[in-house]
Every structure is written in structure tokens, then in C-alpha cells.
Structure 1
Amino acid sequence: MKRLLTRALTVFCLSMMTIVAQAQGEAFSAVRAAIRSGSSKAVAQYFGGTVELSFDGDKQSYSATQAEFVLKDFFAKNGPASFELVHQGASTSGGVQYAVGKFGAKSGNYRVFIKMKPAAGGALQIDTMDFTHE
């Protein structure tokens, strides 16, 4: 009986880990597609109430609406050619998830760091985006 309970618990834990990993992948997949297309509006759908944007170390916090316009201006000046995620991960506590990617623009390449936090309803929202020119 104890052996059966242990197996059931193991299967349950593995299935929960799969669901969390899949949810993480889906959130970053949509953000990746939005950045690749240069759509600030599509990226803004994943913004939290306030977003910290950084361009080459110049960090500022914006409301979601302001951040959309700042990102739109960035995409206008740095037309997107490509965007690929290089690494994804999550913190061990708090549900914070992050991704590092490479953004290819007509003006050069950027390393992008994205941090997403769970909102009150559990959906992931972008908290931080850092673009660093390589």
C-alpha cells in the first residue's frame, strides 16, 4: 500500500511539473512571437501594472500603456529581423520566471532579459525587460 501511494504521489508531482513547464513555455512563446514581429501591442498584452524597461542600462519604470509606447519607439528605431530565446528558467520560490534571448535588429544585435511574475489570477505578466546592445 505504501509503495502504491509513493508511486501515485510521484506521478502526480511529475504531472504538475509538466503543467508548470508547459505554462511557462506558452507564455514565453507568445512573447517571443510578439517581439520577433516587432509588435509592441502584442507584447503589452503581457505587461503587469508597471513595467521596468531598460535599454543599454538606462532603466525606468513605466505604466503598461507608457511601456507600450516606449517599446513601439524602440521597435521603430531598431526594426526587428529575428528573435530567439536562448535560455529559460524559474526561481525556486515565488513563481518568477525568466528568459534570455537574442534580438536581431537592423541596427545591431541585442541581448534581451525578460522577467515574468504571476499576477493575482495566476497568469504570468512581464515585470522587467532589458535590452543590451552587443
Structure 2
Amino acid sequence: MTLTLSLFLSVFLYLQPIFGDEVKMDSIDPVISAIDGGSSGDLAKFFDTSISLNVNGQQGEYSKNQAEIVIKDFFKKNPSLGFKVVFRSETNPSLISYIGDYQSTESSYKVFIRVSQQGENLKIYSLDFVKA
């Protein structure tokens, strides 16, 4: 009985970090869906009050509303054919970076998303669409 309990506890503790990462990765899913669907409104829900934005060379610090307009224009000119995250980096539990591939009818883009974890919410503080 004790051996079985010890084995179960060991397996649980070993797998706990794996399950923890899945929960964190799931929290970015609405952002991924918004980019994949080309929805500036859904994406803007995750913007911090101000955001560093680089869209195809148009760089600057924008308010949440200004950034939504810039992204809306980008999605209009570059309709989505798909988006997927290819890399995730977590140097600090509250700061996470993602790199993704965005495919449009015109070009391919590398997307760099930097988010901060604020309680239960993710806030995008930096977003880059760079032509590949």
C-alpha cells in the first residue's frame, strides 16, 4: 500500500510541471484565435493600456484604441490564411514571449508577442508583425 502511494505521488509530482505548462499555454489560445481569424477587436481585448507595436515597419507606442486601428488596417490589407505559435519563452513567470508564423494572401510574417501575466489575465504589451 505504501509503495503504491509513493509511486502514485512520485508520478503526480513528476507530471505536475507538464500539466502546469498546458494550462498556461491554453490561456494564450484566445489571442491565437484572434490573430488566426484576423479579428482586431478580439485581439485588442488583450492589449495593455499602452502597447509597443511594430506592424511591417510602422513602429511606435500606441494606446489600446490606436493599436486596434493599426491592427485592423493590417488585417484588412493582409487577410489571414492561418497563424500558429512556433516558440514560447518564459524567463519570468509573469513575462512570457511567443513567436508565431502568420500567413496572409500577400506574404508571410513572423509574429512576436510579449505578454505579462496580471492575475488571471494576459496583457499584450508588445506586438510585432515582421515580413518573413
Compute the TM-score of the two structures, normalised by the length of structure 2: 0.82
Partner of 1:4: none
Partner of 1:100: 99
Partner of 1:132: 130
CA distance in 2, matches of 1:48, 1:20: 24
Instruction: Structure 1: give runs of 5+ residues left out of the alignment.
Output: 1-7
Give SS of 1:36's match: helix
CA distance in 2, matches of 1:57, 1:96: 24
Structure 1 segment 79-94 matched on structure 2, within 5 A: 79-91=79-91, 93=92
Compute the TM-score of the two structures, normalised by the length of structure 1: 0.81
User: Contact 2:97–2:115 at 8 Å: present in 1 too?
Assistant: yes
| Mean Cα deviation higher: 19-28 or 81-90 | 19-28
Partner of 1:44: 44
Structure 1 segment 113-132 matched on structure 2, within 5 A: 113-119=112-118, 121-132=119-130
Identity %: 28
Aligned length: 127
Structure 1 segment 11-90 matched on structure 2, within 5 A: 15=16, 17-18=17-18, 20-90=20-90
CA RMSD between the two structures:
2.3
User: Contact 1:96–1:115 at 8 Å: present in 2 too?
Assistant: yes
User: Contact 2:28–2:122 at 8 Å: present in 1 too?
Assistant: no
